[in-house]
Amino acid sequence: MSAREMLFYADAIVAVMTAAMVILHRNPVVCALSLVLHLCSMAVFFLLLDASFLFAVQIILYAGAIMVLFLFVVMLLDPGGEGVAGRIGKVQLGATLAAAVLLLAGVARLLPGLAGAGAPEGAVLPPGFGQAGDLGRELFTDYLLPFEIASILLLVAMIGALYMGRKETS
């Protein structure tokens, strides 16, 4: 097992543990801070999978900008603790079980690949794969229209957020 694989599995443990903290902890501030850790572990995944530009974007955009927004709102509203127990009704239980069954089906499908038997080796990567130049070239040629639409989406989201946060004038 190569060092890269070992790092991957160690990081997978960190990612799953922090995700569990996010969905199980009562205090929303702890949830938000666990999410920061989780997003950083996802960034490490991206680095291990030769996506260095996405690694940087993940740290700057997610662990930086979005999480500051989250923490800001959590501290502003101070919603206090919340119990998880007592909420899990029939619908929640059924949906969770269905999700677990789906996951098991997926695992059964993936098992041959996990064992390494019959799994095709990954493609040989060109130099500079996943770096800013590579991604940028693709974004401004093949994906130019989606890129422009994404910028309009961000503009609309900004206007929407401003509208929602305006002062009440009745």
Q: Contacts with other proteins in 7-36 (CB under 8 A)? A: 8-9, 12, 15-16, 19-20, 22-23, 28, 31-32, 35
- Binding residue count for other proteins, defined by CB under 8 A: 88
Rounded Cα distance between 71 and 29, Å, is 7
Q: Which residue from 3, 37, 122, 148 is in contact with other proteins, where contact means CB under 8 A?
A: 122
Residue in the structure block whose two tokens are 């998880």: 84
- The yes or no reply on residue 139 touching other proteins (CB under 8 A) is yes
- Collapse the DSSP code of 82 into the 3-class scheme (helix H, G, I; strand E, B; otherwise coil) and give the result: coil
Closest contact distance (angstroms) between CB of 42 and other proteins is 5
- Collapse the DSSP code of 89 into the 3-class scheme (helix H, G, I; strand E, B; otherwise coil) and give the result: coil
- The yes or no reply on residue 132 touching other proteins (CB under 8 A) is no
- The yes or no reply on residue 133 touching other proteins (CB under 8 A) is no
> Could you tell me if 130 and 53 are in contact, meaning their C-beta atoms sit under 8 angstroms apart?
yes
Closest contact distance (angstroms) between CB of 169 and other proteins is 13
- Collapse the DSSP code of 121 into the 3-class scheme (helix H, G, I; strand E, B; otherwise coil) and give the result: coil
Task: Kindly write down the DSSP assignment for every residue of 124-136, as one continuous string.
Answer: PPPTTTTSHHHHH
- Collapse the DSSP code of 165 into the 3-class scheme (helix H, G, I; strand E, B; otherwise coil) and give the result: coil
- Closest CB to other proteins among residues 76, 169: 76
Site string for other proteins, 75-114 (x = CB under 8 A): -xx-x--x-x--xx---x--xx--xx-xx--xx--xxxxx
User: Footprint of other proteins on residues 44-63 (CB under 8 A)?
Assistant: 45-46, 48-51, 53-54, 57-58, 61-62
Kindly give, in sequence order, each residue whose CB lies less than 8 Å from that of residue 118, ignoring residues fewer than 6 positions away: 112
Q: Which residue from 124, 127, 169, 170 is in contact with other proteins, where contact means CB under 8 A?
A: 124
Rounded Cα distance between 95 and 20, Å, is 18
- Closest CB to other proteins among residues 162, 169: 162
